[in-house]
């Protein structure tokens, strides 16, 4: 295994992120266009409320996009998490990791009979915070998981 190991997004995760981003932009564009068009009518109050709701939804979308769009690198010294949209970088030293566990989490898909499940890696830190990622997000999930475990528990 070549080190450091850097995460690679799966194609399905990229596609889903792109579609959700385009839909969010489209909804907000329509909301703002309707608000501008309705300033000359009697429905100003309703259009402003619609724009406020869409801006709040866009804020929620951006919050989750910032949290999910991240690059994870397992190095000799620790785990480096680069948040793509903000440019923020977090370094987690292996000594700050209390526990590393992996488990399968079922994703409820409504009426569809066969639930989809993904392997998740959950890292508990000494601060009480958790960092987790799954195999749906990264095509090299297994390599990342093994590198983190090897370095954390000094198996290499």
**Pairwise CA distance, residues 119 & 136, whole Å:** 8
First and final C-alpha spacing in the chain:
11
Entry pTM: 0.73
Q: Which two tokens stand for residue 9?
A: 């997004």
Predicted confidence pLDDT, tens digits, the chain (156 residues): 667 899 999 888 888 888 888 888 888 788 777 777 766 666 666 667 777 877 888 888 888 777 778 999 999 889 999 998 888 999 999 999 999 999 888 766 565 555 577 889 999 999 999 999 988 889 999 999 999 988 887 765
**Pairwise CA distance, residues 73 & 8, whole Å:** 10
For residue 62, give the 3-state DSSP assignment: helix
For residue 110, give the 3-state DSSP assignment: coil
Q: Which two tokens stand for residue 140?
A: 């090299």
Domain map of the chain by residue range? Answer: 1-156
Quick one: CATH architecture of 1-156? Roll (2.30)
What is the structure's pLDDT at 90? 94
């Amino acid at each position: 295994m070549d080190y450091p190991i850097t995460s690679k997004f799966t194609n399905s995760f990229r596609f889903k992120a792109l579609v959700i981003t385009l839909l969010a932009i489209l909804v907000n564009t329509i909301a703002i266009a309707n608000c501008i068009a309705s300033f000359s009518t009697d429905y100003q109050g309703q259009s402003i409320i619609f724009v406020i709701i869409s801006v709040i939804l866009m804020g929620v979308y951006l919050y989750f996009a910032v949290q999910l769009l991240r690059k994870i690198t397992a190095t000799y010294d620790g785990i480096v998490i680069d948040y793509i949209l903000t440019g923020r970088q977090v370094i987690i030293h292996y000594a700050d990791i209390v526990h590393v566990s992996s488990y399968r989490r079922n994703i409820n898909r409504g009426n569809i009979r066969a639930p989809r499940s993904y392997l998740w890696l959950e890292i508990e830190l000494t601060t009480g915070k958790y960092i987790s990622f799954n195999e749906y997000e990264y095509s090299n999930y297994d390599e990342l998981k093994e590198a983190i475990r090897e370095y954390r528990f000094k198996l290499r």
